[in-house]
Chain A
Amino acid sequence: MSVHTVTKEQFKSFVSALIASDRRVVGVQAKGDRFAFDDLKSAQDLRLDYDVTILPPKKYVLPQQENLLTFQVNGQSQSVCHQQKTVLIGVHPYDMAAINQMDMLFSQGEYDVHYMNRRKQITVIACDVARPSPNVFASSMNTATIDHGYDMLVTNIGSSYVVEVATDKGKELLSLMNGARDASQNDLGARKAVWDKNEGWLNQHKLDCKPSFLPKLLEKSYQHPVWEEKARLCYSCGSCNQVCPTCYCFDVQDEVNWDLKTGCRYRAWDGCLLQNFATVAGDHNFRKKRADRFRHRLYRKGKYVPAKIDGQIACVGCGRCITACTAKIANPVEVYNELMKRTEIG
Chain B
Amino acid sequence: MTKPRVAIFDFACCEGCQLQIVNLEEDILKLIDVVDVVEWREAMSEQSHEYDIAIIEGSITREEDEHRLEIIRSRAKILIALGACAVIGGVNKMKNNFDFNEVRQCVYGKDGQMQHLNTERTKAVDEVVQVDFKIPGCPINGAEFAQIIRSLLVGKKPFVPDYPVCVECKAKETICRYEYNQICLGPITRAGCGAPCPSAGWRCFGCRGMAENPNVDAAQEVMTLYGLTVDDLKQKMVLFNSK
Q: Is the CB of B151 within 8 A of A256?
A: yes
Q: Is the CB of A274 within 8 A of B153?
A: no
Alpha-carbon distance A253/B147, docked complex (angstroms): 12
Alpha-carbon distance A242/B175, docked complex (angstroms): 13
Q: Is the CB of A258 within 8 A of B166?
A: no
Alpha-carbon distance A32/B198, docked complex (angstroms): 14
Contacts of A65 in B (CB 8 A): 171
Q: Is the CB of A242 within 8 A of B212?
A: no
Q: Is the CB of A260 within 8 A of B154?
A: yes
* Distance between A173 CB and nearest chain B CB, rounded to angstroms: 27
User: B218 near A: Cβ within 8 Å?
Assistant: yes
User: A64 near B: Cβ within 8 Å?
Assistant: yes
User: B121 near A: Cβ within 8 Å?
Assistant: no
Q: Identify B212's interface contact among A64, A73, A275, CB under 8 A.
A: A275
A246-303 interface (Cβ within 8 A of B): 253-258, 260, 269, 271, 274-276, 290
Contact with B along A58-74 (1 / 0, CB 8 A): 00000011000000010
Q: Nearest 6 A-B pairs (CB), nearest first?
A: A242-B170, A237-B166, A258-B30, A235-B187, A54-B173, A64-B171
Number of chain B residues whose Cβ lies closer than 8 Å to a Cβ of chain A? 38
Q: Is the CB of A275 within 8 A of B159?
A: no
Alpha-carbon distance A61/B200, docked complex (angstroms): 27
Alpha-carbon distance A54/B169, docked complex (angstroms): 11
Contacts of A254 in B (CB 8 A): 156
Known pairs A31-B173, A235-B164, A327-B222; list 5 more (Cβ under 8 Å).
Answer: A55-B173, A236-B164, A242-B167, A326-B178, A327-B225
Alpha-carbon distance A253/B214, docked complex (angstroms): 24
Q: Is the CB of A260 within 8 A of B175?
A: no
B125-182 interface (Cβ within 8 A of A): 146-147, 150-151, 153-154, 156, 159, 162-164, 166-167, 170-171, 173, 175-176, 178-179
Chain A residues in contact with chain B, CB under 8 A?
31-34, 36, 54-55, 64-65, 73, 232-239, 242-243, 253-258, 260, 269, 271, 274-276, 290, 323-324, 326-328
Alpha-carbon distance A255/B147, docked complex (angstroms): 7
Q: A237-B167, A327-B218 are in contact. Are A253 and B175 (CB under 8 A)?
A: no
Q: Is the CB of A256 within 8 A of B170?
A: no
Q: A235-B218, A290-B215 are in contact. Are A275 and B163 (CB under 8 A)?
A: yes
Q: A255-B147, A326-B187 are in contact. Are A274 and B154 (CB under 8 A)?
A: no
Interface centre among A236, A238, A243, A256 (most CB of B within 10 A): A236
Alpha-carbon distance A64/B178, docked complex (angstroms): 23
Q: Is the CB of A236 within 8 A of B153?
A: no
* Distance between B77 CB and nearest chain A CB, rounded to angstroms: 18
Q: Identify B171's interface contact among A34, A258, A269, A326, CB under 8 A.
A: A269
Q: Is the CB of B147 within 8 A of A236?
A: no
Q: Identify B167's interface contact among A32, A34, A238, A327, CB under 8 A.
A: A238
Q: Is the CB of B154 within 8 A of A324?
A: no
Q: Which residue in chain A gives the minimum CB-CB distance to B163?
A: A274
24 A-B residue pairs with CB within 8 Å: A31-B173, A32-B175, A34-B175, A55-B173, A233-B218, A233-B222, A235-B214, A236-B164, A236-B215, A238-B163, A242-B171, A254-B156, A256-B151, A256-B156, A258-B30, A260-B150, A260-B153, A271-B163, A274-B163, A274-B167, A290-B215, A323-B179, A326-B187, A326-B222
User: B85 near A: Cβ within 8 Å?
Assistant: no
* Distance between A5 CB and nearest chain B CB, rounded to angstroms: 34
User: B22 near A: Cβ within 8 Å?
Assistant: no
Q: Which residue in chain A gives the minimum CB-CB distance to B174?
A: A54
User: B188 near A: Cβ within 8 Å?
Assistant: yes
Contacts of B25 in A (CB 8 A): none
Q: Identify B213's interface contact among A239, A253, A275, A326, CB under 8 A.
A: A275
Contacts of B151 in A (CB 8 A): 255-256
Q: Identify B173's interface contact among A36, A237, A269, CB under 8 A.
A: A36
Alpha-carbon distance A55/B176, docked complex (angstroms): 13
Q: Is the CB of A326 within 8 A of B176?
A: yes
Q: Which residue in chain A gives the minimum CB-CB distance to B178?
A: A326
* Distance between A4 CB and nearest chain B CB, rounded to angstroms: 33
Q: Is the CB of A233 within 8 A of B175?
A: no
Alpha-carbon distance A54/B151, docked complex (angstroms): 34
